[in-house]
């Protein structure tokens, strides 16, 4: 397999700073490409949200360089990888909690991460940034939001459509830096050939139906270099034209 990656980020129409951060890392191995991508949406206002999300992606980048090769040295093992992911997420959360305590300022960040290796897809999620898998036939959401409205939807108190538009949709019950008993969702699946994975902050998706994201990215995936970047920027501008004011970040990864 080979890999194509693209990304887009914008502070949006009203926010003074971009509190989103992203990281994309790739490496060549004897088993093919190793890919890590993550999107983080910081909270805490201005510099504090920016610091929270940038701290998370910095720590993930170091983990990719220093710890991930050790976790994979004896081959792919989900239980080993899961423990490694949980440890780095807890480290990030503790760093943010300690900084917030020292400066008496609440701060936190969502984190959604994708790992692709040797035909395996592993996702890790805390908060309400999302990962979608796009194919010729459909688009599937691979992560579940850690929000109050998602809990109500799971309990049957709201329909999925109501949860998407409920004004409480941004209230999280779990994020890095503000959560006791952190419990990230870590899931695995096989990689389907030609899949496109979309990681995004909530600002990217609020104004865009999933089918619209699928159509744009699937059409762009087979085009010349730069096609997916153009699709992401077009979708982001469309979201802003429809009234989105939040920071906007998206990453697309295509396995060929």
Domains of the chain: 3-255 (3.60.40.10)
- Per-residue pLDDT of 208-254, as tens digits, reads 999 999 999 999 987 767 899 999 999 999 999 999 999 999 999 99
Token pair, residue 109, equals: 């960040």
For the purposes of burial, counting CB atoms within 10 Å of the CB of 172, is it exposed (0-12), middle (13-18) or buried (19 or more)? buried
Query: What is the distance between the alpha carbons of residues 44 and 14, in angstroms, rounded to a whole number?
Result: 16
Query: What is the distance between the alpha carbons of residues 14 and 159, in angstroms, rounded to a whole number?
Result: 30
In the predicted structure, residue 142 carries a pLDDT above the cut 80:
yes
Amino acid 121: pLDDT: 97
In the predicted structure, residue 46 carries a pLDDT above the cut 60:
no
Token pair, residue 132, equals: 């979608």
Query: Beta strands of 171-247 (E only): which ranges?
Result: 185-190, 196-200
Q: Using the structure block, give the residue that is written with the tokens 């396995």.
A: 255
Backbone phi, then psi, for 215, in 5-degree steps? -60, -45
The three-state secondary structure class of 141 is strand
Least confident of 60-69, 122-131, 163-172: 163-172
For the purposes of burial, counting CB atoms within 10 Å of the CB of 141, is it exposed (0-12), middle (13-18) or buried (19 or more)? middle
Query: What is the distance between the alpha carbons of residues 185 and 126, in angstroms, rounded to a whole number?
Result: 7
| Cα four-point dihedral sign 218, 188, 200, 70 | negative
The three-state secondary structure class of 20 is strand
Least confident of 136-145, 146-155, 223-232, 246-255: 223-232
């Amino acid at each position: 397999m080979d890999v194509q990656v693209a990304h887009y980020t914008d502070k949006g129409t009203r926010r003074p700073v971009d509190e989103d951060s992203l990281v994309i890392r790739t490496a060549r191995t004897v088993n093919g490409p190793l890919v890590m991508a993550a999107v983080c949406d910081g909270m805490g206002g201005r510099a504090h949200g920016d610091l929270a999300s940038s701290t998370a992606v910095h720590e993930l980048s170091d983990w990719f360089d220093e710890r991930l090769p050790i976790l994979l040295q004896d081959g792919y093992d989900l239980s080993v990888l899961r423990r490694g992911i949980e440890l780095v997420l807890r480290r990030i959360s503790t760093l943010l909690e300690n900084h917030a305590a020292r400066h008496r300022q609440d701060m936190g960040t969502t984190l959604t991460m994708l790992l692709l290796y040797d035909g395996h897809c592993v996702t890790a999620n805390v908060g309400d940034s999302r990962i979608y898998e796009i194919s010729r036939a459909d688009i599937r959401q691979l992560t579940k939001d850690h929000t109050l409205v998602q809990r109500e939807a799971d309990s049957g108190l709201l329909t999925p459509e109501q949860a998407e538009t409920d004004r409480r949709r941004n209230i999280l019950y779990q994020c890095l830096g503000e959560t006791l008993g952190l419990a990230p969702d870590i899931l695995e699946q096989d990689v389907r050939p030609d899949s496109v994975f979309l990681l995004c902050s909530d600002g990217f998706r609020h104004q865009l139906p999933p089918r619209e994201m699928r159509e744009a990215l699937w059409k762009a995936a087979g085009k010349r270099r730069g096609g997916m970047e153009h699709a992401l920027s077009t979708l982001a501008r469309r979201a802003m034209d429809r009234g989105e004011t939040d920071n906007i970040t998206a990453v697309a990864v295509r396995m060929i």
